[in-house]
A = this chain, B = another copy of it.
């Protein structure tokens, strides 16, 4: 099974720039050890089980709570598919096989 978790999480009570907080969240994700990709809008992580992905969400929130964030917003999409793996790479490759090179 391949679980793709696309997650953005940030405080909404700490002013305009979020990168200080977001960087701590991404540090936590990096330390989890799963394949991931940081994009300009979110982080995409691939796990084998949904429970592993849910545990990452909890860890991301825990670090913001430790940083005294009083209000936290998170936007998450899951694409869960059985009988597939390594989709962090293969989804983009599948598109390129159909329409040629894309910016990635």
Contacts and interface: CB of A to CB of B under 8 A. Distances in A.
Q: Which of A12, A58, A74 has the most CB of B within 10 A?
A: A12
B74 A78 contact: yes
9 contacts: A6-B39, A6-B41, A13-B15, A16-B70, A19-B95, A23-B95, A38-B102, A40-B44, A51-B58
Q: Which of A8, A39, A82 has the most CB of B within 10 A?
A: A39
A34 to B, nearest CB: 10
Interface residues of A, number: 59
Count of chain copies: 4
Interface of A: 4, 6, 8-10, 12-13, 15-16, 18-20, 22-24, 26-27, 30, 35-42, 44, 50-51, 54, 57-58, 61, 70-83, 87-89, 91-92, 94-95, 98-99, 102-104
